[in-house]
Amino acid sequence: MRPAPIRNMQWRCRHKLIDLRRPVVMGILNVTPDSFSDGGRFATAAAALDRAACIVAEGATIVDVGGESTRPGAQAVAAEVEIARVAPVIEAIRARFDVAVSIDTSKPEVMAAAVDAGACIVNDVGALRAPGALEFAAGSGVGVCLMHMRGEPRTMQDDPRYEDVVAEVGAFLGAERRRCLEAGVPAESIALDPGIGFGKLIKHNLALLRDLAAIVALGSPVLVGVSRKSFIGRVLDREVAERLYGGLGLAALATASGAKIVRTHDVAPTVDVVRIVDAVLQGSWE
């Protein structure tokens, strides 16, 4: 079944207006020592900038910079440490590339430092619920991505339970979207993320991906991130480095279901998948 059309075909993100008439790819740049897939590989500024160059060259529209791991069981990082990791990298990316940069954080202090450095999107696994985060977003003009997560990274996989995961995640995202609108965040600046793998068992992830159209129907652009996640490994019996094809299959499914932003470590193949699926849906490739 064809996904329902999305009203917001542009994502207003501070100085950037991201065209979502066709879906786009967000490339992951973790500048952390402990991320589940690539922790430590891009922890230096030089390595991070080289990786950003690859992400841009491979066709990503957005570079998502994170300075604190959100893998299950991850330990919290002080705001000043996170800022020291991400701000120089964001500033260097913006000086070299004409690309949208998002900051993957839940801390308003980090959001502010990242935006000062040139970020235009706040990608928050906490859905702007930390004190001061919503006020910052409303006053800064950033694009925001609100994600659903049961609990917090240290505890989110401790026996998460749902009666109807699709309905409950949809209700949460709808309520958080309304909260943002009431605070003054423009509708065209809001994207939603069902939080695949965040406080969810395999069956919950599969249900959300199967019925993603219900989240798309909320009316805001939907971001989906499944790249290399553990449930792919469990289903396919694959280690982290062997999960590319599973992730690409899910990226195709999400795009066909109406997702407008696909977040990934594997930019080039994901761009190809998103483009070919969209060409089929649109009946056009130009």
AA letter at 72: P
Q: Is 260 a catalytic residue?
A: no
Number of helices (H), then strands (E), belonging to the chain: the values are 10, 10
Which residue among 150, 229, 243, 260 is the active-site one? 229
Which residue among 16, 22, 177, 263 is the active-site one? 263
Contact 228, 186 (CB under 8 A): no
Q: Is 203 a catalytic residue?
A: no
Question: Residue 98 — φ and ψ, nearest 5°?
Answer: -90, 75
Contact 246, 203 (CB under 8 A): no
Residue in the block written with tokens 């000086």: 95
**Running DSSP on this structure, what letter comes out for residue 241?**
G
Q: What is the DSSP string of 57-99?
A: HTT-SEEEEESS--STTPPP--HHHHHHHHHHHHHHHHHH---
**Which positions are catalytic?**
229, 263
